Structure 1
Amino acid sequence: MARVLFLQTIQFEFVGVMSISAYLKKAGHQVDLLLESEEGEDFFAKIKDYKPDLIAFSAMTGDHVRCLEIAERIKRFSDVPIVMGGAHATFFPETIEHPNIDIICRGEGEEAIAELCNRIDEGEDYSNVRNLWVKRNGAITKNEIGPGENDLDQYPIPDREVYYKYPYLRNYPTKPFMTARGCPYLCSFCFNRDFNRMYHGKVKMLRRHSPERAVEEMLEVKSKYPLKRLFINDDIFILDKEWLSEFLPLYGREVNIPFACNVRVNLVDEDKVRMLKKAGCYMVMFGIESGDAELRRNILKKNITDRQIYHAAELFRKYDIRMKTFNILGLPDETLEKGLKTV
């Protein structure tokens, strides 16, 4: 049994960390997590007390800077291997060159981190584990990406207890869920484009839980923790109309809690909006990115039209569903006039 300790600076549940934690526990390993903001001055003392066999960060770009600072301090008192995964490590694997990072995990981490822990537990070499870049004595081994799991129902229900030991997160009324992974679109600014290229031919671009498995997770959380609203964090929740027609009635009957979700305007039609409203959707979020159609098309490669944006907004307003939009200012070739279109 390997003892794994996740460290995090952002006060929010990472769905990926919860999934990896559940996967590791099912494989017989011990997992805990420390939030720096919650632990305060005890943060580093608790790292020492846990006596981990592996320390793990899931880092986004920007947040990675603080993670590297923490890794540097840990290395002053421990030689435990430190692995960094998440979006930043996936797309900037050269972070392995930082003197205090020993391993980089690229892409999805369930199988790779479980295999890493198995080998640490057995005292075996882990330098050839797929998805990992491993540094030993200054030499870096860059392993290929392994095949992903297409059947998400094979994964255990994410382990929320690693976060919900903290009262703030446990009692927060809105909790995140994912019913799918991936997106088939190729927007130039989004990590999904490069993720799809990295996994080309090794996993489907979009994978979903079955409606029953998605609802099972939601019911488990509803029974164990305070839950007044859900945020379904799929990149595009409404992509598959047939799946929606199965999931939403089941959700309405069994879970019956207001929820928000991400949509894409070119996929919006009245049937979908009607189903969303009936099931309890109170808010949708979608990317406009820029009010200038030329920038959307040529720079962002986001092929949605002004007409599709207005049509979707009209439908959501008709059914009294709130809207939140995502936008980007300061794009290449953006003039003041074009920026004001977005505003």
Structure 2
Amino acid sequence: MKHAVLINNAHIENFSVRHLGAYLRSRGFRVSIIHYESRKESVFEPMPVRALEMLADFCKEVDLVGITLLTTHLVPRCRQITRYLKDRITAPVIWGGPPVIADPVQFLDEADLVCAGEGEAVMEQLLNRVPFHQIPGLGYAAADGRARVNDLPPMLEVNDLPIPRVDLENGYVLTESGLVPMKDTVPDTLSTYSVLMVRGCPYQCAYCLNSRLRQVFEGKGPYVRKIEVGRVMEELVWAKTHIPHLRRIIIDDDDFFLNSEDRMARFLDRYMKEIGLPVFYIQANTRQITEKKLDILVNSGLDLRYLKIGLQSGSQRISKEIFHRPLDRQAYLKKLEMVMKRNIRVMIDVISDNPYDTLADKYAVLMFYLDILKRIPDPSIERPVKIYDHKLMYYPGTPLYEKVLKDGHIRADYVNQVLLKRSTLRLHEEDRDHDALMVALFNTAANRKPFHRTAHLLLRVLAVPPVFRAAVRYRLAKVLNRWI
């Protein structure tokens, strides 16, 4: 029986290895999944030599090794693993994932093979020894040394695929002390389980690789595909039954509210009857939020910790011209008010440290934050709304990457010098800037705990135009951020 090993450098419930593993097993192959779990900034740490040795030993007799590249930030780890394995095993190493799909030729410098589209059928045909030139969606180096990327096949019908459960039977957790079979010890970190009801994102934001992926798959079938409610529930029932430490669920659709009222109602009704666990978050775009859908959500009795709603920038100019996601300020505030009055806790995603922000844009953001604070119900639940701040980073293949490179805001070595060394998390000293100060003051004011009145007062003082200009010019944030 042909044997494939899938290596996962992200969280254990990573969708990529789940889908690939389930598909290949359904086709009669042996599949082993090795998790070297990394979260947040730990993804930049190299794998210890002892772990690499155990990995190479495990892969010595296999037929194919697949490495999933969830984000460009994982390139150093994937590169380290690939280079170590190449000298010690005979099986080819194939890379896949969004960055690879966005620019497959680039990654042929790293791996033996690359997957330029969805990976299920590509890996199946590789294991069946189909010649490279006959495998749709495969990237490889031809006999003449030139890179070849075969045309993509039609996109998969998601409801015909096997259910992508986390593989406890054939999964391993790699540590410095050994390869621990998950069938013997389910890791404590697997306390959250993620599912999808909708595969694919309908939006094309300039900073997101999804804008590139939609171009790649154009003409290959529906990009946004809905998964049958019964299949989602079957997976969740399995997870609740087999994962002993399971405490909560994430419904990880890019926009849960793309589901129709009927689908939402049917899913939530079954979820509460058969699962009933808290849902850590669901994500939404205000375009899809309606009173009726919110009522369905609330009336279901779901214990929802956060509804994540993207904002990215409170400046209409930045939203439209730079991020390619137009913002209707009044419509956004109206939808946010609809959510908060139902006591649904909100997490708002924003993107900061933008070189295209002018003083007017920064002021527009401040005023928008104040408008949100005005709409918090009184009385309200604890922490009714929180802003989660991300550093603006540029990913090859996106329209924004091309723009900042052309405009001289980044250098040609940006990927190696920045993307491969830090994430979007605003944890560094360099991140203690004006944008971070505005977010810190907002979150303190919104929490309505000690100092919330002081934070709100500071925001209102900063809203006085001469004060605001002076604060930005003289970098008041560097001083105040040390106290907030």
TM-score by length of 2: 0.65
**In the alignment, does 2:235 pair up with 1:224?**
no
* 1:58–1:5 distance in 2 versus 1, CA, 3 Å: same
Corresponding residue to 1:92 among 100, 103, 110: 103
Return the letter of the residue paired with 1:208.
K
For the residues of structure 1 that align with 2:93 and 2:147, how far apart are their CA atoms?
A: 14
Equivalences for 1:178-193 in 2 at 5 Å?
178-193=196-211
Cα displacement (A) at 1:125: 2.0
Structure 2 distance, partners of 1:199, 1:11, is 26
Amino acid aligned to 2:195: F
Residue 322 of structure 1 corresponds to: 345
Per the alignment, in what secondary structure is the counterpart of residue 188 of structure 1? coil
Q: Report the Cα distance in structure 1 between the residues aligned to 2:172 and 2:278, rounded to whole angstroms.
A: 22
Report what 1:135 is aligned to: 141
2:24–2:120 CA contact under 8 A, matched in 1: yes
Structure 2 counterpart of 1:147, from 151, 154, 159: 154
Please name the residue that 1:74 is paired with.
Answer: 85
Q: What is the match of residue 253 of structure 2?
A: 234
Within 2, Cα distance between the matches of 1:24 and 1:284?
A: 35
Letter in 2 for 1:125: P
User: AA paired with 1:140?
Assistant: A
Q: Which residue of 1 aligns with 2:57?
A: 48
Helix, strand or coil for the counterpart of 1:261?
A: strand
Mapped partners of 1:115, 1:335: distance in 2: 52
Aligned residue type for 1:156? P
1:312, distance to aligned residue in structure 2 (A): 2.5
Q: Which amino acid aligns with 2:319?
A: R
State the alpha-carbon separation in 2 of the partners of residues 337 and 169 from structure 1: 49
C-alpha displacement of 1:168: 7.0
Q: Is the 8 A contact 1:238 1:272 kept in 2?
A: yes
Mapped pair 1:106 → 2:149: no
Q: State how far apart, in whole Å, the 2-side matches of 1:265 and 1:163 are.
A: 40
Q: How big is the shift at 1:309?
A: 2.4
Secondary structure of the structure 1 residue equivalent to 2:193: strand
CA offsets 1:210-253 (integer angstroms, 9 cap, x no match):
11111111111111113221111111111132322322222222
Instruction: Tell me how far 1:258 sits from its aligned partner.
Output: 1.8
1:252 maps to 272
Unaligned stretches of 5+ in structure 2? 39-46, 174-180, 367-438, 440-484
Amino acid at match of 2:124: A
Which residue does 1:243 correspond to in 2?
263
Amino-acid identity (%): 24
Instruction: Kindly state the Cα deviation for residue 5 of structure 1 after the two structures are TM-superposed.
Output: 1.2
How far did residue 133 of structure 1 move? 0.5
1:128–1:141 CA contact under 8 A, matched in 2: no
Partner of 1:57: 67
Q: Please tell me the residue identity of whatever aligns with 1:92.
A: D
Deviation at 1:325, TM superposition (A): 1.9
Partner of 1:266: helix, strand, or coil?
coil
1:196 aligned onto 2:205: no
CA RMSD of aligned residues (A): 2.3
Q: Quote how far apart the aligned CAs of 1:332 are.
A: 4.5
Residue 271 (structure 1) aligns with: 292
Pair member with larger Rg: 2
With over 3 angstroms needed to count, the CA separation of the structure-2 counterparts of 1:175 and 1:37, relative to structure 1, is: closer
Question: What CA distance in whole angstroms lies between the structure 2 residues aligned with 1:254 and 1:312?
Answer: 30
Alpha-carbon deviations, 1:32-74, whole Å to 9, x = none? Answer: 1223459952333233234221111111212112211221111
For 1:63 and 1:7, the matched residues in 2 are separated by 12
The residue identity in structure 1 corresponding to 2:51 is D
Q: Which amino acid aligns with 1:334?
A: D
For residue 314 of structure 1, report the CA deviation from its aligned partner. Answer: 1.7
How far, CA to CA, are the matches of 1:269 and 1:19 in structure 2? 32
Provide the secondary structure at the position in 1 that maps to 2:305. strand
CA contact (8 A) 1:132 1:143 kept: yes
In structure 1, how many angstroms separate the alpha carbons of the residues matched to 2:335 and 2:187? 33
SS in 2 for 1:304: coil
Match of residue 369 from structure 2: none
8 Å CA contact retained: 2:105, 2:149: no
CA distance in 1, matches of 2:362, 2:126: 47
Contact map agreement 1:34 1:43 (CA 8 A) in 2:
no
Residue range with higher mean Cα deviation, 323-332 or 41-50 = 41-50
1:309 maps to a residue whose letter is Y
Give the 3-state SS of the residue equivalent to 2:28 in structure 1. coil
Residue number in structure 2 paired with 1:283: 306
Secondary structure at the residue paired with 1:328?
strand
Alignment partner of 2:82: what SS?
helix
1:79-130, Cα deviation, whole Å (9 max, x unpaired): 32110000111112123441x51111022211222222222xxxx4233311
Aligned-residue offset at 1:15: 0.6
Structure 2 Cα separation of the partners of residues 6 and 336 of structure 1: 48
The answer to whether the 8 A contact 1:299-1:332 is kept is no
